[in-house]
Structure 1
Amino acid sequence: MNKTIDTDVLVVGAGPVGVSIANLLGHYGVKTLMVDRSPQVLDYPRAVGLDDEALRTFQAVGLAEAMLQDMIQNVPMRMYTADKRCFAEILPSTREFGWFRRNLFSQPLGEATLRKGLGRYPHVTTLLGVELQSMDQDADGVTATITAEGGEASTVRARYVVGADGGRSTVRERLLKIPYEGQTHPNKWVVIECDQDPLDAPYTALHCEPRRPYVCLRLPYGLRRWEFMLFPGEDAEQMLAPDKVQELLRNHVADPSQLNVIRARVYTHNSRVAKHLVAGRVCLAGDAAHITPPWIGQGLNAGLRDAFNLSWKLAWIVQDRLKPELLQSYHDERHAHAKAMIDLADLFGSVLSQRNRYVAWMRDRFFLSIRNVPKVRDYVLQMKFKPMPRFSTGIVLNTGNRVQDELVGRMFIQPLVQRGAGVGEKLDDVIGGRFALLSWRCDPLAEDGGDLIAQLKRLGCERLVGVRARCGATETGMSIDPASQVQVVQDLENDLQLWFQRKGVDWVLLRPDRFVAAAGTRDDAVRQLQTFCDQVLPQIATHPAAATAPSAGEVIAVA
């Protein structure tokens, strides 16, 4: 018997991106249904790297520490010439966003932690072993048909749908028919994982050997992974046979026959991005939206950027705190950056997997010659080659002031701060899942806030004032009305002071995904913030919020 399930958001796909979206929507108080055709987490060798932006996403739902329990932090990456000389080592020291930039994990373990996190939200439902069959949009929502393994069909009525169902996405490919633009690379790669790591090599190594380029890395709990390029004429399935696996490993371990290989799989590298990430009330995220070769470890990280960017927008729209037409900003903000990361991965791959011995020799000579140039070394070591997201359009306010507009659309730092006599906390934990007007040593709305303060509350905006650490009861030039509901935070490590001092502004408006939506001086705060509210707030609230989002600083822990 066909039954109907009503929800605010239907998430198709329970991989790491889909389940992260479900966690975020749960945190924001949105009624959510997540479905996936697989009844369990796939035990394949897949993503292994998470960056600081990804951990900040997990932090937003109180899962960063739980994820870190199965993770190796601050792992260097080394690149080797054809004759096994290290020509570059990448180990960023920065923690500007609150976390290390290179961390390794095992995806099946990470997915299990993320799925466990959903148990905190009674308004989030997961159905596994369920497949999406059809989907029709109208002016008010989406009607979808799903079927269970036994053939039982159900109808889902949702206000919005997210397709996070992988590179062969049913949502993108069969139902929306959105072009997946790019290329499929000719060479396949075999990925092998064993336990009881036989090597003392606690880093990720890219071996640029023309005879067979390969990657070797250490994973948590004694796992070791190798990734070998396959050549034309080598049969993918035959290369997974035990004798072929041992042949691939023979030059890298003393006795490959003694290895306990627990996973082996052949992958094809793709560089593709969907032409549209938003189609009416349906959005694409993760591999359904874009797919990249693994050279710079950004495939899953790009999908988690999608999750953070999209989830708060869906929540704010459902809860009448954002104009529905601004859902298009998800495409505007994510498409170009996803393409830039794919292009960088392609460049890395073409340089590092070079099979022409003469070209490889020239490449090695070049990299060896520049490795001792301080500026070049710092550029590589600190991963400054990684293009950071920056939005010039979308849910951001540009004013024509070059200095201020340069700050807008960039991720804000995450310093350590202190509330009252409490302990030091990361800034995001103080703000919680909301907007924040953060100012330095002033309240820019103290004298002329008026109706604007009420509009900011409707936007879900916390007001914070940063002050110097251990500054006493007051600071020169700053007065905070105790009745103003402005929260004062001490800048424990001087990061806020230095940031505001260098940038030449008094305040920033931070989005729930921690990107700067607007910035300025105290003199232009009311005008700019009013303009922003006029641009994003809907005229009339028509749908009540589905649930109450956690207050600032409230985190539901997962053991």
Structure 2
Amino acid sequence: MTKPAIDIDTEVLVVGAGPAGLMLANLLGLYGHDVTVLEQLPELIDYPRGVGIDDESLRTVQTAGLSETVLPHTTAQHIMRLVNGRGKVIMTNEPKADEFGWPRKSGFVQPLVDKALHDGLERFHNVSIKFNHRVIDVVQTLDDVVATVEFDDGTDTPVTKRVRAQYIVGCEGGKSGTRKRMGVSFEGKSPATRWLVVDAENDPLGTPNVFLGADPKRPYVSIGLAHAIRRWEFMIFDHETDEQVTDKAFIHNLLKDHVPDPSSLEIIRERVFTHHGRIAGSFRQRRQIIAGDAAHLMPVWMGQGWNSAVRDATNLAWKLATVLRGHADETLLDTYDAERRDHAKAMIDLSLTLGAVIKPTNPFVVGARDGLAAALNLVPSVKSYFSEMRFKPMPRYTSGVVVDPTSFTAGKAKAKLSSKMIPTLTANNRTSPVGVQFIQPLVATKNHASIRLDEAVGNWWTVLAWGNNPQGMFDAAELARLETLGATFVAVVPESQRAWAEKEYPANVVVVGDITGGLKKWFDDRPTPVLFLRPDRFVAAAVLAQDAPRALKALLKALSFNEGANDASRTHLHVA
């Protein structure tokens, strides 16, 4: 029996044109792979959703080469104030850190940023996006997946297509068909509380801040966004229907304590939504993978839904690219679940906790909360803990594509350095840098007086050494493996030594000058002057110079490296 013809052949089929799908397609396009994105809607979603973009996501936007088109839709250093029913500030969140090269917290207009991601796909001849396409079935074999797709062409009978790919990634939201076909659980909480979102243009307030109103009469949120957009969110009580709360008179009554004249507002849109806190039992089932809201749903309080989707795409993209080009077997993809699960769960839990602080309407509970907040604000260390956003869990991978810097165990990394060698014993910081994101200060190169580190070293694997020639640490066979992996060799030196190093070191070693002192400070505090940086800028291994070959051997094992692989010519490296 003849099999039905294949209409589209692609390496990766992405289902859903939300932030996870769009960012994944951009990164895979950057890495040189064929991607087809299918979206069942006729266009991108244009209703109230995310409003916060963090430094990790902006770093990924930078990697994708889209900073110039995304930044105009953002407001840097978004300050959040939690206020009680009397308008008294009980907590301020004002993080000033920028160690990853971008402000820790910015506001953004999601529909416009999503459009920038969408438009970015036009750069790649190997990436296409198709709207009005709905996946109705998927069959996977040992070698591929074939999706049956309905295309709504406006006629009475949709056109049926068949799409073949090596992998399918479901990014189609909380009702993900991909997750359901995988047969995995989606456990967690879906609180019954509903919220009304109202977006207005020509901001009638004009203040740039974020206010979380822990008002027992009706909790609310007020947010100043880019392009003079004002966002309000109001908690809806059980007896209030969706139709009632979206009535203009009802909305005007909600806003009467917020603006002088609610009736003159230029409302863009309003929408009722419910918070969810759920996570899938697995993010991968053979050749089917899920990301973004399809893998985890979280309440809006920490503004981490969009950012968590981008983290998924950032983690998954380079791993898919590595497997597709034959540099690792597909067990590498198991590390996507292992690395992303714990942090996604931590962000869900934190978001639910913050919501529990904001939502109470019982006067006794509210009084106890306000009293506790007032007492805690008297302790400077506690106050700064919240102000500087140190309560937000940063991703730290203890299993996956990591190497323990003391035992050289492949695939596992303890949080502490336990070596008895004097460089470790005398270090200011014995916390392992493995499994966390490396800093991104400004540096100098022979072509740039000041440039962000990632832009200087490229978008793939990096072997980075402080004050040393990173190539001189490896023999010919090891250098060949690193060449196959597509690694860039980077020497970091004080700016005063850069001209010397550029003459002394091989021509294919990128020399960067530490013009801010940030890199020297980082290495001063840690006895790990040689780093293996993954494409997502996380530290995979960190060692002393003589241990670099041993670390490389363990890293290749953690990566499931294919010794018979060809070189990394498909990687789009950009070196300043």
1:152 aligns with 2:159: yes
Aligned residues of 1:27 and 1:433 also touching (Cα < 8 A): no
Aligned twin of 2:18: 15
1:338 aligns with 2:344: yes
C-alpha displacement of 1:506: 1.4
SS of 2:399's partner is coil
Aligned twin of 2:174: 167
Aligned twin of 2:456: 430
Match of 2:545 among 522, 525, 535: 522
1:80-138: CA deviations, max 9, x gaps? 02211112221111100000011111111111111110010000011111000110111
- AA at the equivalent of 2:168: V
Equivalent-residue separation in structure 2 for 1:2 and 1:153 (angstroms): 11
Equivalent-residue separation in structure 2 for 1:448 and 1:246 (angstroms): 69
1:176 aligns with 2:176: no
1:201-235: CA deviations, max 9, x gaps? 21010011101000001111111111000112111
C-alpha displacement of 1:194: 1.1
Equivalent-residue separation in structure 1 for 2:447 and 2:125 (angstroms): 34
Aligned twin of 1:74: 77
Aligned twin of 1:557: none
Aligned twin of 2:219: 213
Equivalent-residue separation in structure 2 for 1:213 and 1:277 (angstroms): 34
C-alpha displacement of 1:537: 4.9
Change in Cα spacing, 1:447 to 1:67, as seen in structure 2 (3 Å) is closer
Equivalent-residue separation in structure 2 for 1:258 and 1:298 (angstroms): 32
1:420 aligns with 2:446: yes
1:536 aligns with 2:539: no
Aligned twin of 2:489: 463
Equivalent-residue separation in structure 1 for 2:549 and 2:431 (angstroms): 17
Aligned residues: 549
Equivalent-residue separation in structure 2 for 1:539 and 1:286 (angstroms): 29
Match of 1:482 among 487, 506, 519: 506
Aligned twin of 2:61: 58
Aligned residues of 1:76 and 1:90 also touching (Cα < 8 A): yes
Match of 1:450 among 476, 486, 489: 476
Equivalent-residue separation in structure 1 for 2:100 and 2:470 (angstroms): 25
- AA at the equivalent of 2:246: L
- AA at the equivalent of 2:497: C
1:548 aligns with 2:554: no
1:235 aligns with 2:258: no
Aligned residues of 1:434 and 1:552 also touching (Cα < 8 A): no
TM-score, scaled relative to structure 2: 0.92
Change in Cα spacing, 1:388 to 1:143, as seen in structure 2 (3 Å) is same
1:500 aligns with 2:523: yes
SS of 2:434's partner is coil
1:356-385: CA deviations, max 9, x gaps? 111111111211222242211221111000
Aligned residues of 1:317 and 1:324 also touching (Cα < 8 A): yes
Change in Cα spacing, 1:543 to 1:164, as seen in structure 2 (3 Å) is farther
Aligned twin of 1:509: 532
Match of 1:196 among 199, 202, 208: 202
Aligned twin of 1:29: 32
SS of 1:463's partner is strand
Equivalent-residue separation in structure 2 for 1:14 and 1:490 (angstroms): 40
Change in Cα spacing, 1:97 to 1:302, as seen in structure 2 (3 Å) is same
Aligned residues of 2:473 and 2:546 also touching (Cα < 8 A): no
Aligned residues of 1:445 and 1:526 also touching (Cα < 8 A): no
SS of 1:396's partner is strand
Equivalent-residue separation in structure 1 for 2:230 and 2:557 (angstroms): 54
Equivalent-residue separation in structure 1 for 2:527 and 2:567 (angstroms): 40
Matches within 5 A, 1:276-425: 276-401=282-407, 402-403=416-417, 406-425=432-451
Aligned residues of 2:470 and 2:489 also touching (Cα < 8 A): no
Equivalent-residue separation in structure 2 for 1:447 and 1:91 (angstroms): 43
- AA at the equivalent of 1:393: S
Aligned residues of 2:473 and 2:548 also touching (Cα < 8 A): no
Matches within 5 A, 1:112-127: 112-127=115-130
SS of 2:301's partner is coil
Change in Cα spacing, 1:308 to 1:276, as seen in structure 2 (3 Å) is same
Aligned residues of 1:20 and 1:307 also touching (Cα < 8 A): yes
- AA at the equivalent of 1:336: D
Change in Cα spacing, 1:488 to 1:88, as seen in structure 2 (3 Å) is same
C-alpha displacement of 1:2: 5.6
Change in Cα spacing, 1:34 to 1:209, as seen in structure 2 (3 Å) is same
Equivalent-residue separation in structure 2 for 1:386 and 1:509 (angstroms): 26
Equivalent-residue separation in structure 1 for 2:82 and 2:127 (angstroms): 43
Equivalent-residue separation in structure 2 for 1:327 and 1:543 (angstroms): 20
SS of 1:186's partner is coil
Aligned residues of 1:439 and 1:464 also touching (Cα < 8 A): yes
Aligned residues of 2:45 and 2:111 also touching (Cα < 8 A): yes
Aligned residues of 2:473 and 2:545 also touching (Cα < 8 A): no
SS of 1:470's partner is helix
Aligned residues of 2:135 and 2:150 also touching (Cα < 8 A): yes
Aligned twin of 2:412: none
Aligned residues of 1:442 and 1:479 also touching (Cα < 8 A): no
C-alpha displacement of 1:421: 5.0
- AA at the equivalent of 2:72: Q
Equivalent-residue separation in structure 1 for 2:473 and 2:331 (angstroms): 33
Aligned twin of 2:427: none
Aligned residues of 2:474 and 2:548 also touching (Cα < 8 A): no
Equivalent-residue separation in structure 2 for 1:218 and 1:473 (angstroms): 47
CA RMSD between the two structures: 1.9
- AA at the equivalent of 2:403: L
Higher relative contact order (CA 8 A, sep 6+): 1
1:41 aligns with 2:44: yes
Aligned residues of 1:82 and 1:364 also touching (Cα < 8 A): no
Equivalent-residue separation in structure 1 for 2:205 and 2:556 (angstroms): 57
C-alpha displacement of 1:474: 3.6
1:340-371: CA deviations, max 9, x gaps? 00000011010111111111111112112222
